[in-house]
Amino acid sequence: MNITGRRIGCTVRKVLVTMSERPVSTSSYAMVKAIEELEKNPFFEKYGAKIAKYQKANPEEFLNKFEKGKEVKESQPGGHGFSEVAKKGKEPLAKAAYTFAPQKKLESIMKTDLLKDKSNEEIQYIWTEHFRNKDAVSGVIPSATYDKLYENVLKYPMFLFALPRNTGYEFIVVQFAGHEAHFTPLINYQAYQENAPECLTLVHYPDLKEERGIVLMHGEYNKDIVNSFEAQCLVNQVQMYYGGFDQTKLELVKTFHAAPDKFKHQDLISQLESFDLSSLPGKKA
């Protein structure tokens, strides 16, 4: 890292440490919760465009109808309170470990020979079923979408996400290492920096990118820190901020790195609370 990079890194770290001292308390994550619930409905793909249009035009009425139609479960968002400082960090890693992390191979978790005669739809089904009963998230990403995401990851290898909790929002730091993404509560990053214990780790497998035009993804999470909804919320935010299809969100990422003194944590919450279904490209996750 050059001198300018070091200066930016130090300033970013100062911003992260300062922000960890002021958790944001708000109850306005109901919209995100409703959207995630609706995505599980088998008819969502058919009516998704109409739902997105209605949600954007009448957000309050949208929420009222959702609440009347489905009871909100405690196992969904807000399943955990704010994180406490971990008793210890991970084993220290070399400074270059995050930049030059070896790529995990798809063959290490799946027999790729069995996929040769399968269609992409069948591969998606096999992949998601493999992780369905585990503390994990999974997805299949189109190559073009992932190429843009990865391009931005290389430019901006660290960022911050707002995660809905039972009494408001907690900030989660993400650090990218090659085709991996490592998430940790900000309070733990403050204590252990790069060696903070993770609450979620995502791994992308580009093995089939050239041949099939898809990238497989899976992530394992610590269920004592985040639940399945919260893990999926973090995955969605990676796409929202790094996918390049929402310039406003990408500008926040750029500001975080280039002008951290101008970065406002409240903007993350505002972006999440105004989350629009139509802003995300069709995803299979």
Q: What is the pLDDT along the chain (285 residues), one digit of tens a residue?
A: 333 344 444 555 555 655 544 444 333 445 565 666 666 555 556 556 666 666 667 666 666 665 555 443 333 444 566 677 666 556 555 555 545 557 788 988 888 888 889 999 999 999 988 888 888 999 999 999 999 999 999 999 999 999 988 778 999 999 999 999 999 999 999 888 888 889 999 999 999 999 999 999 999 999 999 998 899 999 999 999 999 889 999 999 999 999 999 999 899 999 888 766 555 555 443
Local structure of residue 166 (DSSP, 8 states): T
Residue 279: the pLDDT is 56
Q: Are 83 and 225 in contact (CB under 8 A)?
A: yes
Residue-range domain boundaries for the chain? 3-29+94-279
Q: What is the pLDDT of residue 183?
A: 96
d(CA 108, CA 268): 36
d(CA 185, CA 87): 13
Write down the pLDDT at residue 283. Answer: 45
CB-CB contact of 186 with 173 (8 Å): yes
Residue 89: the pLDDT is 59
What pLDDT shows up at residue 254? 97
How far apart are alpha carbons 234 and 240 in whole angstroms?
10
pLDDT value, residue 25: 36
Please give the pLDDT value at position 168: 84
Exposure b/e, 106-123, CB count within 10 A at least 16 = b: beeebeeeebeeeeeeeb
pLDDT at 217: 95
- The pLDDT value given to residue 1: 33
**What is the strand order of the sheet 158-165 is part of?**
136-142, 214-221, 200-205, 180-185, 168-177, 158-165
* pLDDT number for residue 73: 39
| DSSP letters spanning 79-126 | SS-PPPPPSS-PPP--GGGTTSPPPPPGGGTS-GGGGTT--HHHHHHH
How does DSSP classify residue 135? S
Residue of 201, 217, 211, 203 lying closest to 141 (CA atoms): 217
The one-letter code for the residue type at 254 is: K
Look at residue 90 in the predicted model and tell me its pLDDT: 65
